Structure 1
Amino acid sequence: MQEPDATADLTLQAMNEKAQALQGQVQALTSEVERLRLRIKELEGQASKNSKNSSKPPSSDGLKKTTSLRVASGRKPGGQAGHAGKTLEQTDRPDIVIRHALPERCDACQATLSNSDAQVHRRGQVFDIPAVRFEVVEFQTLQLRCPCGKLHENEFAPEVCEVAQYGPNVRALAVHLTQGQLLPFARAGELIKDLYGLDISPATLVQWVHEAAQALVPTVQAIVQSVQAAAVVHVDESGLRVASCLQWLHTAATATHTWYGVHPKRGMQAIADHGVLPNYAGTLVHDCWAPYWSLECAHSLCGAHLLRELIYQKETTAQAWPQGLIELLLAADQACKAARQTDTALQAVQVEVFASQYRALVQEGQAQNLPAAKALGQRGRAKQSGAFNLLRRLLEREQEVLRFMRDLGVPFTNNLAERAIRMPKVKQRISGCFRTLPGAQNFCTIRSYLDTARKQGFGMLHAMRAVFSGQALALA
């Protein structure tokens, strides 16, 4: 029989073991609750993302209410006082004049009336386009035999190479409709038939696109050289469906030139294969995509992307520092715009004031978003919150975030590249994916030429006419 003290010790030991087991369960449940809390917060954050507070496209917004950075101007909608309006005005040189004849006799006294003596009382002009139809121009060569027996004959002009062929104007229009106005091939053919009475198959349109792309290869190479020599280049990339597979559309744009390329990869391999950026020595404006940092040039981060991220953190954290940074960046951008209008740089004192406020707000945010510790037994690094990651990036990349202040040649946003990316995405939404990789490559070649021509003040249809006339525009 055990002694009372020994029995009490065994009971106490069992109770301690049970308490430790319960404590372990409590710790495990606490960790699980914390993990689920963070996961719920993450999912709620994902559900609240839209095109105004993240990099999601506007097409994903649906009917959600979004947050705008615009502020009310206090002005009424519509044209403002002093605004120069535009209206259709008469021309002094009408193409056709139709005169309404007077009656031959006066209905009061039956006197003869002469229309040649009448004066123009009122003029009304109708601006319209004529109903058109295609025309066929026949070229004929001549043959004549001299009395001496020699046969004389001439040849067609170089542009007449078939017994029946389409001219440069209709070919230029077709390529412009599919590559410039982004119509599907079948709909472009229907439009040409409705307008001009020409029944052209989609396969013929595809062939014309290929011919235009081949003719434009030297021009696009010149565009690449101009981009490489620019002081500031905007770059972006986006997914593109080609032959039911994911490819990546890359763009490099300046104020006067646009280049497009398509590649199976998104990162450094694509950059190296395209050969546009590896030796670039100017300033690259981008959205902080990691492979761009491998390029040995100056970098500038897109302010619009940062503003969207800050809006998201403002909405999900309810902290004050995101709004402070939003107001700071917008104020700095306005100061830079005012300085560009007077063709002067920001004063060093003004730049330092903005930079000091920037650092203070980042430090304030870091104090409220401490790094997460690794869970017991967790492998690898601890997952950090979006606010922590954003603040760390803002701290480490201060020079790149604020470069637009120190160099007024660098814009605040990467909108040039984003606008360039938008049109191919519109093409994909209208027509679906590209059926073949050569088709996507042809689109990139032709669109590089058309967007560059547009930036330099040329109409896209005029630019395509020049291609099919054998004299593509020089867009250096």
Structure 2
Amino acid sequence: MLSDVVVKFSEQEAYELLPTYRQVFDIPEPRLEVIAHRISCRLCCGQVHCGRFPEEVSAPVQYGLRAKTFMSLLNVDYRLPYQKISQCFYDMYGYALNEGTIVNANEGLYERSAEIEVQIKTGLQSSAVVHADETGGGVAGELHWFHTVCNELGCYLFVHSKRGKEALESAASLLPFMRGYVVHDCWSSYFSFDTCKHALCHAHLLQELKALSEQGSQWAAKMSACFLALYQASQQGKAVVENFEAWKAHYEAICQQADREEPPPEKTARGRPKNSKGRNLLNRLTTYQTELLAFACVKEVPFTNNMAEQAIRGIKIKQKAAMCFRTLRGAEIFVRLQGVMTTLRKQGLNLFQTLLNINAKINVQLETT
């Protein structure tokens, strides 16, 4: 829309100058659009023949797909509770939603997202490197675990009553199908899979080394410096380091120094001897040397597991806002939709429009490799 501002000058001053333009970007006035559907019936040959309403028009009065998609987007990706979404609709459109409307919107998008989730899982299973992590949360008054497997193109989440091997080997898990590298923390259950290769996250490890070095541990300070130097030499975990064998020998020399510095296990009357924190960390460094140095000799393996931690951050935020999921079904709906929305963002797709296409059963093809 152009708006001309007319300024009057005297005849002697009236020189034609180039116009100056200014633009104002604004949003349209919010309003609900009502579409009326009507079918006709005819009596022919002793029978009544009627037209059919569109598939998505299943009730005398209902919200459309755009409104339902917006509800799901606010609830899942923006983590707004039902009450806030209802208030938002009332403030904008003058209509307050009830909780059941939002629940049904999520339920419908969940069912229609099943094929998208299959595409995500297929892409992750063929990936050279994936990230895995888990976090606990309340579901129906009990502790459950939210597990993720993700890469730069996709994110898959599932909820299970267990954290360890039972969950990771369940039908919902992808780890039994992985053949490339899986980046994770040192949780022992991950190492039960021998069909994939393992790489470990260094973020928490560096924190442990820092704590030991602040207590006067010389070997911990050297190991921390070794990892950080390797990180720089590998171009922040994006390239293979030169002279890897020399770096490996340096790593092993620090472990030998740690073995001399750390006190031997304390013998107890019963059970296994008690190790110091430094000795426990050293045991991990020697046991998982290959997994800890993978980032320096395999180009695709990163230095940290931040990608998986970011994938489950939405679950933690949701838990802080809503405290818990009331039902297991509600948790399952949320994690599928969260995984789908995270994937769409990773692939640079317009989130609202793509979710609307999914709701409208329009084919959506994701990038998997």
TM-score clears 0.5: yes
Give the aligned partner of residue 398 of structure 1.
289
1:389 aligns with 2:280: yes
Distance 1:320 1:461, change over 3 A: same
Deviation at 1:460, TM superposition (A): 2.3
Say which of 243, 262, 273 aligns to 1:369: 262
Give the aligned partner of residue 353 of structure 1.
246
How many Å separate the matches in 2 of 1:380 and 1:299?
30
Give the aligned partner of residue 126 of structure 1.
24
Say which of 175, 178, 189 aligns to 1:291: 189
Q: Is the 8 A contact 2:219 2:257 kept in 1?
A: yes
> After the TM superposition, which residues 43-442 of structure 1 pair with which residues of structure 2 at under 5 Å, given as runs?
96-102=1-7, 121-142=19-40, 154-273=51-170, 274-296=172-194, 297-315=196-214, 317-337=215-235, 340=238, 345-347=240-242, 350-375=243-268, 378-442=269-333
Distance 1:152 1:272, change over 3 A: closer
Distance 1:393 1:101, change over 3 A: same
How many Å separate the matches in 2 of 1:279 and 1:169?
37
C-alpha distance after superposition, 1:13-69 (max 9, x if no partner): xxxxxxxxxxxxxxxxxxxxxxxxxxxxxxxxxxxxxxxxxxxxxxxxxxxxxxxxx
Deviation at 1:163, TM superposition (A): 2.3
Secondary structure of the residue aligned to 1:439 is helix
How many Å separate the matches in 1 of 2:330 and 2:52?
36
- CA RMSD, Structure 1 to Structure 2 (Å): 2.6
Deviation at 1:119, TM superposition (A): 6.2
> Given the two structures, how large is their TM-score scaled by the length of structure 2?
0.91
Q: Percent identity?
A: 33
How many Å separate the matches in 2 of 1:141 and 1:101?
53
Deviation at 1:372, TM superposition (A): 2.3
Say which one has the larger Rg: 1
Q: Is the 8 A contact 1:339 1:346 kept in 2?
A: no
Give the aligned partner of residue 334 of structure 2.
443
How many Å separate the matches in 1 of 2:365 and 2:130?
20
Q: Is the 8 A contact 1:232 1:283 kept in 2?
A: yes
Q: Is the 8 A contact 1:193 1:199 kept in 2?
A: yes
**Structure 2 spans left out of the alignment, 5+ residues:** none
Deviation at 1:472, TM superposition (A): 5.4
Deviation at 1:337, TM superposition (A): 1.8
> Given the two structures, how large is their TM-score scaled by the length of structure 1?
0.71
Structure having greater relative contact order (Cα 8 Å, sep ≥ 6): 2
Q: Is the 8 A contact 1:453 1:459 kept in 2?
A: yes
Deviation at 1:121, TM superposition (A): 3.9
How many Å separate the matches in 1 of 2:169 and 2:34?
49
**Structure 1 spans left out of the alignment, 5+ residues:** 1-95
Deviation at 1:150, TM superposition (A): 10
Give the aligned partner of residue 14 of structure 1.
none
